[in-house]
Structure 1
Amino acid sequence: MTEFVVITRPLAQADALAQRVTELGREAVIFPLLEILPLDDPTSLQNVLRDLDQYALIAFVSPNAIDAAFAARPDWPRHIPLAVVGEGSRAALASHGATAHNSTIISPTDLDRTDSQTLLAELDLDALRGKQVLIVRGETGRELLGDALRAAGAQVTPVAAYRRVAPIFDNARRGELKRLLACQNDWIVTSSEGLRFLTEMVAQLDETGSVAKMQQQRIIVSHVRIAETAQLLGFSNITLTRSGDDGLLAALQSCS
């Protein structure tokens, strides 16, 4: 039995999952690997959100994109179809009042692999030819969705809604990471970028064996791309689960 369940989501998104982990009888530790920040200059986002009626589809790349967009424009129009990648994004839409009952929401039907490629398989690309599509995203990220839509003839407008940065690796976080590496834990990791930040932090500990200890921890991931990143970074105990908190929790229970 491992000791802690380490939740590495950004702080604002970690509490709900931590509560569900606690209800399973496990001790949750929140150790964010990403910090979500507002844009330095939100002018472009605000300008785009003022005139949404021109778009035939609005795609959100993550729950963070949804939260930032709805914060910037709470009165979201319900007649424009929305596209999201995973169950976490569907839950984020629901938290802002957008559900299948009042909105058209398109997402991958194969919950074992939820990404831009499986989302594209659900879209009517022919119907989007010549139409305007808005992609709400972070300042950086993959271009696969936008490139594929452009290749299909859509006119794509990407707009940044938030920034992702690595949390400051101060003495408190350094001490917490050392404490976690002193035992075996289950780490819930939902970002390839965050996992890379984690390995960089471990390398900065300058303690013999820290990297090896981290690579031996159990990593529970919600996407095949994160699993591939974990393998490249030398992790040997990787559990891949389906999208959404239910999948993560089911994998956690099966690992116990």
Structure 2
Amino acid sequence: MSTLTTDPTTDLLRWRTERETVLRQPHGWLSLVGLHALTSTPSTVPGLPGQWWTDGDDAFVQASAGLSHPHTREPLDDTWRGAVGEGLSTLAATFVPTGRADEDRVVVELVRRTGRLYLRVRDPLAAPRQDFVGVRAFPYDPAWVLDVPVRWYDEPVEVTVGAAQRGLVHRVRLVGEIDVEREGVAHTLRLTAGHAPGSAGVLFSDEAEDLAPWRVLSVDADTSADTLRVDLNRTINLPYAFSDFGTCPAPVQGNHLPFAVRAGERDPRGAAS
């Protein structure tokens, strides 16, 4: 049984251990090995069985031996058909490459981004997962635990932002903004709606070296509060920082802190130090 502690350094180390456990999952973000746009012509996809295509609305595969339903492991029908909404993903198929054990099966994920359908491939033997020894991060620093003014919007504001993949965009909902003060100057960062109820996130960049281009921090979305505690020690990398195949949203324009935030996770593909 784990023992709770109020020591912030110990709590942060426990939290980081839990995060790394999630990253190490067989088909987690470290397992990405490909992102392939579907076309209207049935075509082979590098490394995958079958012929894949789209009519713009749905995805199809003319299945070949080895492709299985991702949940039941039953063979796919001769012609599988699947759909997914904008910004979402769904599992399409799995297969076991020749010479592998069943636990090393590859997962094929169907995603829709900026109106187009893609196949994203997750392989538990991907080099980033096999070579993973943890996420490099700055040590805990209490100076980066801040109580900041927050202004919640009456209604979410939908805006378009860029993405980690060239040519893609995301529609995100802004729910408020915070002011981070440095040397007497307040810098405003806007908050996006979080995936979990009662949560929000702030995607931002800053001037520290050895970082991914932008990172994210999750915060509680207590809309009755006018002050928000942000612990920048818990700033993390989005999936794109670990892989060339992430489609993560970029920060809203202006979400940049013009000083170095030496807290949270560092560039996972940077030089070891």
**Bin of the TM-score, shorter chain as denominator length:** under 0.3
Structure number with the higher strand fraction is 2
Structure number with the higher helix fraction is 1
For CA contacts below 8 A with separation 6 or more, give which structure has more relative contact order: 1
Normalised by the size of structure 2, how large is the TM-score?
0.25
Normalised by the size of structure 1, how large is the TM-score?
0.26
Q: Which has the larger radius of gyration?
A: 2
